[in-house]
Amino acid sequence: MTHSVKHHPSISLLELYCDGSLNAEVALLVATHLDYCPHCQQLCHDIEADLGGQLAESATGPSDLHATDWLEMMNRITATPQLPKAAPAPAPQSLLSIGGYQFELPRALRRIAGRRSKWLSMGGIATARLPSGEPHHASLLFIDKNTDVPLHTHQGLEMTLVLSGEMVDEHGRYVPGDLIINSPDDTHKPRNISDEPCLCLSVLSAPLQFKEGLTRWLNPLQRFFY
Ligand SMILES: [Zn+2]
């Protein structure tokens, strides 16, 4: 399969990723995109080189005070005691089985995928929550072949990264590595119209709001997806 990635994170998102200011869930999404995208890997190298240059400049600045602050900060960082280790982390897992299919996971997801919660299935769709902090929820999302996700809008940001297979919505067609960002203004109905199953990484900052069918039937869906 040689479809190339067309939907990339913005430069400002990559900059936030490189200087470490993204929350863990969005950082995981960007790191996973990088596993698929040599173009953004190169951009990150350049951004990191710039940041490194800036840091070196500020560390060797003319002000004594500044140099002292820098030294103090480094001392504090290196003096911080190591946190006691909690339960041993599960071994990284490179293959994931769901719906009778097996998917190869990108490097960035191999460790965290082993810590996912149980799969919840509804029709041809299944989700498994990954460890994540409020308000962001990160999950693996499986969409079986020829399956639709009900039409929905977003109360917050919905970020979806295709890991395997392909997906279409009103705005385009997405292949592995493609990052789809939907804001509260966007309404869409993602569909897997192919004969291959689709696996995605999904990060939500608020529950989805479903627009199709009877709202009371769809209420449980909100929790299912969030
Ligand atoms: Zn990219």
Rg (CA), the chain: 20
Give the distance (Å) from ligand 1 centre to CA of residue 9.
Answer: 6
**Domains and their CATH numbers in the chain:** 11-79 (no CATH), 95-225 (2.60.120.10)
pLDDT for res 1: 45
- 19-33, 80-94, 106-120, 192-206, range with the lowest pLDDT: 80-94
What distance in angstroms lies between residue 42's CA and the mean position of ligand 1's atoms?
A: 9
Q: Are 177 and 33 in contact (CB under 8 A)?
A: yes
CA–centroid distance, residue 1 to ligand 1 (Å): 17
Spatial separation of the C-alpha atoms in residues 157 and 206, rounded to whole Å: 7
How many whole angstroms from 77 Cα to the centroid of ligand 1? Answer: 32
pLDDT digit string (tens) for 116-161?
999 988 888 899 999 988 788 899 999 999 998 877 777 788 899 9
Ligand 1 centroid – CA 212 distance (Å): 33
d(CA 81, CA 63) in angstroms, rounded, equals 30
Of 215, 165, 163, 205, the C-alpha closest to 184 is 205
For the record, the structure tokens of 33 come out as 């995109």
Amino acid 218: pLDDT: 56
* CA 141 / ligand 1 centre spacing (Å): 21
Cα 222 to middle of ligand 1, angstroms: 30
Tell me the pLDDT tens digit for each residue of 170-184: 889 999 999 999 887
pTM here?
Answer: 0.78
